[in-house]
Every structure is written in C-alpha cells, then in structure tokens.
Amino acid sequence: MRSGAANEIMPLLQCDHRLIVQSLCPDEKPRRIIDQLNLSNVEVQYLRFSPAELQQSHLLWRFLWATWRGIQALFCCLCSCCLPLWRTLARCCPLSWRYHVSQIVRSVLKYCPWWRYQDLRVVYHSVLAGRRNLTDVNDSLYGSILKYLLRKYGRASVIFIVDDEKKGDKVKDEIKAEQPTVIQCCNRIFVFEKEKPSDPPTAWNKQEILKLNEYVKHFLRQNDPI
C-alpha cells in the first residue's frame, strides 16, 4: 500500500483537462495566443481542420458515430448517479482505504470517455488566412462545425478566437451583430489585433488575454469532479 503526503491530497477521481484548439491555420498561429495562458496541468492539443470536416455531410456521419459510442457507454450512468456517494465516502473513510476506493472508481471510469476528460474546445480563425467569413455569410467556414460542436459538447465548452484584426472592439461588435451563429454556438468570443513580432502587445490584446485566461481557469474549476 502506498503512503506519504501525495496520498493524503490525492482526489478520489482524477479528472484530466484538455484544451483542444482547432484551426485551418498552422499550429504556430493559435500557439502564439495559447502559450500566453497559465495552463499548468492542462493538456493542449492542436488539430487542423480539413476541408471535408467542415462539410455538413461529414459532420452528420461523425454525429451518428458519436451517438453509437454513447449507447455503448450507457452503463456509465450508474457511475454518475453514485458520484455523490463516492464524494461522501472520500471524506469519511480512513486514508488507508481512500487509495483503494479511488483505484476501483478509476478502473470503472476509464471506460467512460465522456467523464475522463473535461474538454474546452477552441475554434481559431485568422483573417490572414482569408476574409472574416465565419458564419451567416456566403461561403461561411464554420457554421456547420459550430452547430456540431454545440450539439456534442454544449455551448459552455466551446469558445471562438479571431486573430489578426485591426480594431478588436469594433470587430467583436460586428461579429455579434452580423454573424450571430458564432454567439449562439460559442459561450465566448475573443478577438485579437494583429501584432508584429518586434512590437509589444497592444492594450486591447493584453485585456483579451486576461479575459481568456480567466475564462479558462473558471471552466476548469467548474468541471472539477470533487
């Protein structure tokens, strides 16, 4: 049996957090923003959208596959219903038992992918890769994928980042007014102004980084199981 200070503070359920950044741009573009956040103990993944992924027919197949996987994981509902009992047990049982109980629970939950990770999905767009055709316009890029992410993960787990704009405050207001699907599908939108590598961050970008960092920290706190 293990012992030591590490066991005394080990949570009953180990909930891993992931920040999944999806974009049409190379990873270096969103990484410039994400690297400024305080993301200790958070796994960050960068995924590239393919043109097929943004098509509605492709998203329909993904949704059907995810539904089938959800049916396979129905037995995990029992685990979710018993979480309050396990929380009480974690507080009441001796430390010598706590480790064994946590190992049993984790062994069960490893078969529940929807519980193992609390993901925050970030959709990143740079206007340098094209015009600001996000949603609700001709040849919009993200209308279908945002609706898919909304149905699968929920609005609270999806945010949108627009980068390389000239006037951050003006652009944010225009997106909210002219492309409302972004706001309907994403819990928050963050707009960053274009910067040269040799220039210091603009006052607006500093403010947006602070807001983004605070939002991520709040999301992680809200999704801690215990």
Q: Is residue 98 part of a domain?
A: no
- What per-residue confidence (pLDDT) applies to 97? 59
pTM of the full structure: 0.69
- DSSP H or E run through 180: helix 180-185
Q: Is residue 5 part of a domain?
A: no
Q: Is residue 58 part of a domain?
A: yes
Q: Is residue 13 part of a domain?
A: no
Number of domains present in the structure of the chain: 1
Angle between helices 143-153 and 56-72 (to 10 degrees): 10
Residue range(s) defining the domain that contains residue 210 = 18-75+118-222
Q: How many CA atoms lie within 13 A of 20 on its CB side?
A: 15
Q: Is residue 196 part of a domain?
A: yes
Q: For residue 4, give the amino acid letter.
A: G
- What per-residue confidence (pLDDT) applies to 10? 40
Cβ atoms within 10 Å of 207's Cβ, excluding its own: 13
Please say whether the beta carbons of 168 and 152 come within 8 A.
Answer: no
> For position 205, which CATH number holds?
3.40.50
Phi, psi at 167, each rounded to 5°? -125, 105
Q: Is residue 181 part of a domain?
A: yes
Q: Is residue 11 part of a domain?
A: no
Tens-level pLDDT at each residue, the chain (226 residues): 444 433 433 444 444 678 999 998 899 999 999 999 988 778 899 998 876 665 655 555 555 555 655 555 555 555 555 556 655 655 665 655 556 655 665 565 555 544 545 689 999 999 987 778 899 988 888 988 898 888 888 899 999 999 999 999 999 999 999 999 999 999 999 999 998 888 888 999 999 999 999 999 888 877 655 4
Q: Is residue 10 part of a domain?
A: no
